[in-house]
């Protein structure tokens, strides 16, 4: 009867000496490959459509400046580009008005709609440029205007209570009209582009190209390109802003073959082979504006509107505006001086 308790004590002692078997660590499961058939349609491809809807609601801004001597067809060309009466001359400009004594800046805004897309287009004209006997420093009012638009945008950007959408009046593109002399660029042309190529996207254009023969036009284009290169003038699209090989290949072709665009503008329609075309009537026939064998207007329109409009805006914002902003903030040691409402009202009362 006393054997039982002794055995139980021994068993208890043995159990204390034998350690409990450890549990094996859990082996992580191998990740399963993502099976498209299993997951089905996610909807990532709708992001583009969402962006399109957003931008369609807000619309687009595009501000284009035209610079050149009187009589080069600036207003006509802009009307032809957008197939609308958007120039200052078509907005009640008096033809008898005298040439301004100094360069003036005239901005006219329009809303153009095509295929449900709305664009607020602003055409900035510069009457009086290059029309005086002494044209020294006549680009200064234009440079001042461009910088004023950057300043206006910067002030809105650094406000404590910022607008949801800052009105964009910055100049996205400057069409510079070169007189079709067939010889070389004038000192004024070189000085203007040298000063302003750093602050705005300049696209050189040979105006009224129908006044030159095909040989003269080819030679003049080559001469203009050479002179711009010798003087270190960068026009749009600038080489250093090409983002990838595809952009570089496309833009190199434009820089080496198309620039400067030799164009003819017209807002008059004529009947040619049963079709209505925009053109200029001469004693020997109709010069068709949109016919590439007649002039390079179609190339210019495709370049400015159909392929590079968004890039023009991005280069303006990311390069020219950023350069101005960095310099402005650096010079001022921080934010630009902001006037409060009370200060503004006090200044206006004075």
- Give the pLDDT mean for 237-263: 85
Mean pLDDT, residues 34-59 taken together: 78
The reported pLDDT for the residue numbered 173 is 94
Give the span between the Cα atoms of 237 and 299, in whole angstroms: 14
Give φ, ψ of 204 to 5 degrees: -75, 140
Choose between 222 and 246: higher pLDDT.
222
Whether residue 1 is contained in a domain is answered as no
Is 193 part of any domain? yes
In whole angstroms, what is the distance from residue 346 CA to residue 340 CA? 10
- In terms of Cα–Cα distance, which of 163, 75, 169, 156 is closest to 121? 169
- Exposed e or buried b for every residue in 209-220, given b needs 16+ CB within 10 A? bbebeeeebeeb
d(CA 250, CA 311): 13
The pLDDT of residue 99 = 61
Q: Residue 197: CB partners within 8 Å, gap ≥ 6?
A: 233, 234, 235
Minimum mean pLDDT range among 105-109, 158-162, 214-218: 158-162
- Residue 197: give the domain boundaries: 58-264+295-331
Cβ(150)–Cβ(316) below 8 Å:
no
State mean pLDDT over 337-343.
49
Instruction: Give the domain CATH number at 157.
Output: 3.40.50.300
Q: What is the pLDDT of residues 11-36, one digit of tens each?
A: 555 555 555 666 666 656 655 555 55
How confident is the model over 261-316, as pLDDT tens digits? 998 888 788 888 888 888 888 888 888 888 888 888 889 999 999 989 999 999 99
Query: Would residue 195 count as lying in a domain?
Result: yes
Distance of CA 62 to the CA centre of its chain: 8
Asked whether residue 289 is assigned to any structural domain, the reply reads no
Of the listed ranges 46-60, 87-101, 103-117, 305-319, the least confidently predicted one is 87-101
Q: What is the mean pLDDT of residues 161-180?
A: 90
Number of domain units in the chain: 1
On whether residue 280 sits in a domain, the answer given is no
* 207 part of a folded domain: yes
Residue 146 forms part of a structural domain: yes
**110: phi > 0 → left, psi -120 to 50 → alpha, else beta; which?**
beta
Separation of alpha carbons 85 and 78, rounded Å: 8
Q: Confirm whether 43 is domain-assigned.
A: no
Phi, psi of 24 (to 5 degrees): -70, 140
Confidence grade of residue 342 (pLDDT, cut at 50, 70, 90): very low
**Residue that wins the pLDDT comparison between 226 and 241:** 226
Q: How confident is the model at residue 2 (pLDDT cuts 50, 70, 90)?
A: very low
The reply to whether the predicted model has a pTM over 0.85 is no
């Amino acid at each position: 009867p006393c054997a039982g308790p002794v055995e139980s004590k021994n068993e208890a002692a043995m159990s204390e000496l034998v350690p409990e078997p450890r549990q094996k660590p859990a082996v992580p499961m191998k990740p399963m490959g993502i099976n498209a058939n299993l997951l089905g349609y996610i909807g990532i491809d709708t992001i583009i459509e969402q962006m399109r809807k957003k931008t369609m609601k807000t619309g687009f801004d595009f501000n284009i400046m035209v610079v050149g001597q009187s009589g080069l067809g600036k207003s006509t060309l802009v009307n032809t580009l957008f197939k609308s009466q958007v120039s200052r001359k078509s907005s009640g400009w008096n033809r008898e008005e005298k040439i301004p004594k100094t360069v003036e800046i005239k901005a006219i805004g329009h809303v153009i709609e095509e295929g449900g897309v709305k664009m607020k287009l602003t055409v900035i004209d510069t009457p009086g440029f290059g029309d005086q006997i002494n044209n020294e420093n006549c680009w200064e009012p234009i440079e001042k205007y461009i910088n004023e638009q950057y300043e206006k945008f910067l002030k809105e950007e650094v406000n404590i209570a910022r607008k949801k959408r800052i009105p964009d009046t910055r100049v996205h593109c400057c069409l510079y009209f070169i007189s079709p002399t067939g010889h070389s660029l004038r000192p004024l042309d070189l000085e203007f582009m040298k000063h302003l190529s750093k602050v705005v996207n300049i696209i050189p254009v040979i105006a009224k190209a129908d006044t030159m023969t095909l040989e003269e036009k080819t030679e003049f284009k080559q001469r203009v390109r050479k002179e711009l290169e010798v003087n270190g003038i960068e026009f749009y699209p600038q080489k250093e802003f090409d983002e990838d090989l595809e952009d570089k290949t496309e833009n190199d072709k434009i820089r080496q073959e198309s620039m400067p665009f030799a164009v003819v503008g017209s807002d008059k329609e004529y009947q040619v082979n049963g079709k209505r075309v925009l053109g200029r009537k001469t004693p020997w026939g109709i010069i068709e504006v949109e016919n590439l064998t007649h002039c390079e207007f179609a190339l210019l329109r495709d370049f400015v509107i159909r392929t590079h409009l968004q890039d023009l805006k991005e280069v303006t914002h990311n390069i020219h505006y950023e350069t101005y902003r960095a310099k402005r903030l650096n010079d001022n040691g921080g934010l630009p001086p902001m006037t409060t409402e009370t200060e503004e009202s006090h200044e206006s009362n004075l």
